[in-house]
Amino acid sequence: MPRAQRLAALALVALVAAAGVARGQEALDDEPLRRLDPDTLAGGDYGGTEPQPLAGGAYGREPQAAPRAAAVEEPLTTQLQIGDPLAGSRAGLGAPPRVPRARRLADEPYSPTGIRAGAFILRPTLESTAGYDTNPNEVKSGGRGSAYGRLRGDLDAVSDWSRHQLEVRLSGQIRKFTNAPEIGLEPQASATVDGRIDVTDDTQIVTQLRASITTSSPGDPETPTDVDGDEIQKSYGATLGVAKRFNRFSLQLDGLFDRYLYDDSPLQGGGKLDNSDRIYNAYEVRLRGAYELSPRLQPFAEIAVDTRDYDRSVDDAGVRRGSDGYALRAGAKFEATRLIAGELALGYGRQTPKDNSLDPVEGLLIDGSIAWVPTALTTVRLNARSALQETNLSGASGVLTRSVGVAVEHALRRNVLLTARATVERLDYRGIGRIDDAVTLALEGEYRLNRSLSLIGSFQHEKLASSESGEGYSSSIIEVGLRLRR
């Protein structure tokens, strides 16, 4: 072939290659952020956006949900799933919101495949771990360390229908200390059933049924120090709502009901402490409106009103229990770049006790969740939570809780994952001047042997400082174990 023809052929090949690269780059620029899901980039499928209990410590304060099974359709409104500021208990400081996830690639060697059961995909998880806690009783001084064993199970079931959706999440855990007989099995369990009915392309009916069982922490100021075993707390509730889109504008109206129950506390000296004056119902109505300025920016506003009615209108101290409240929030869901996305809301909340001798609980509400993916192997997550909660402490009208957390997730290899976390939380007990500040630092690791089996380990340090004399504690927890997934 003459030299001129060879040069022309090479030029043609180069031109075609350049056009292919340009087309690929153009497609990449147009690719929505959800395709660059931080979970997938920085550690595959494990965990979703909900961290597992850190080193088995203080599990149950912020109940975690099982990871989602597959990509899901976003609700019609840009609803922040970042915790209800009118939450009646600390369960309101739930896990960070879930980010829509890309479907797992079939050739991902360390992703669980799930189990198909008819029209559902099941993803079970089982953990068995052993650990050591330097201060399981969470006392200020004189704490005695103890080893423990922990067993946890999760099940996530998601429908695979072309329309509508049903998702079931079940979770349970027990933990037993070998050198702390005054602490029971610390049972924790939760069940959530989420449903979505697609009435039309622009109208949806959303529902949720939920129930949980948890135990109070030994260092909880609302728990007597002489409790023998577990102080069981239970709750159940439901949500019914409708979402409607009007072109770029969307509305969602939700009604919520929750009932909070407290079993009598067994005491070390014998007998039980009557907790019937802590049982109450919470009713809430919430309206949210959102407007899509662009696919990357969706501002919203929300108003919520609630009332909390106790079974016993007057507690053992002669104080009338119950409160009425409201919360106003405004914020936006955004995608600043293809690597930064999140939701942020600011607002104001006020909860007024029904007893006129108690001051209202009010303050600034800051809620948000932001994910930044600086590299394909690293994800940085920031989150903030606020809540107005009930309390049974004498003289206190309620608790304003705020927390801020950061987590850095990095994949050393496709099957070796490291996560560092830091959380700061402040509990402001209004009416008695008590303020508790809690700091948690943790380092977690996972080594995936195959799709189903992983070695896991973690270290966590907790410190609580209180303005109340004699209160506060610090503890360190280390844990290792196995995780089995399908």
Say if 116 falls within a structural domain. yes
* Phi then psi dihedrals of residue 122, to 5 deg: -100, 140
Residue 17: which residues within 8 A CB-CB, separation 6 or more?
A: none
Most confident of 34-38, 48-52, 137-141, 340-344: 340-344
Say if 217 falls within a structural domain. yes
Mean pLDDT of 469-473: 86
Tell me what pLDDT residue 96 has.
37
pLDDT of residue 327 exceeding 80, the answer is: yes
Angle at 176 between CA 140 and CA 122, to 5 degrees: 120
Banded pLDDT at 86 (limits 50, 70, 90): low
Bridge partners of residue 367, in order along the sequence: 345
For 183, the token pair is: 């602490």
Tell me what pLDDT residue 84 has.
58
The per-residue b/e assignment along 2-23, b for 16 or more CB within 10 angstroms, e otherwise, is: eeeeeeeeeeeeeeeeeeeeee
Tell me what pLDDT residue 314 has.
87
Mean pLDDT of 50-65: 33
* pLDDT tens column, 399-422: 999 999 999 999 999 999 999 999
pLDDT of residue 65 exceeding 60, the answer is: no
CA-CA distance, 105 to 108, in Å (whole number)? Answer: 5
Which is more confident, 389 or 75? 389
Tell me what pLDDT residue 129 has.
97
What is the residue range of 457's domain?
A: 32-485
Mean pLDDT of 465-474: 88
pLDDT of residue 15 exceeding 70, the answer is: no
Rounded (10°) CA dihedral 423, 379, 97, 331: 90
Say if 7 falls within a structural domain. no
Which is more confident, 73 or 205? 205
Say if 5 falls within a structural domain. no
pLDDT of residue 178 exceeding 90, the answer is: yes
Which is more confident, 358 or 86? 358
Mean pLDDT of 159-163: 92
Say if 150 falls within a structural domain. yes
Q: Which helix (H) or strand (E) holds 84?
A: none
pLDDT of residue 480 exceeding 80, the answer is: yes
Which is more confident, 146 or 22? 146
Q: What's 448's domain CATH number?
A: 2.40.160
CA-CA distance, 238 to 192, in Å (whole number)? Answer: 10
Ranges 61-75, 126-140, 255-269, 279-293: which has the least confidence:
61-75
By percentage, how much of the chain surpasses pLDDT 90? 61
Closest CA to 98 of 150, 37, 141: 37
Tell me what pLDDT residue 16 has.
36
Count of residues making up the chain: 486
DSSP state of 377: T
Say if 6 falls within a structural domain. no
Banded pLDDT at 85 (limits 50, 70, 90): low
Say if 407 falls within a structural domain. yes
Say if 23 falls within a structural domain. no
Which is more confident, 196 or 80? 196
Q: What is the pTM of this model?
A: 0.78
Q: How many domains does the chain have?
A: 1
Banded pLDDT at 102 (limits 50, 70, 90): very low
* pLDDT tens column, 107-116: 578 888 899 9
Task: Write down the mean pLDDT value for the chain.
Answer: 81
pLDDT of residue 153 exceeding 90, the answer is: yes
How far the first Cα of the chain sits from its last, in Å, is 59
For 266, the token pair is: 């067994």
CA-CA distance, 31 to 53, in Å (whole number)? Answer: 34
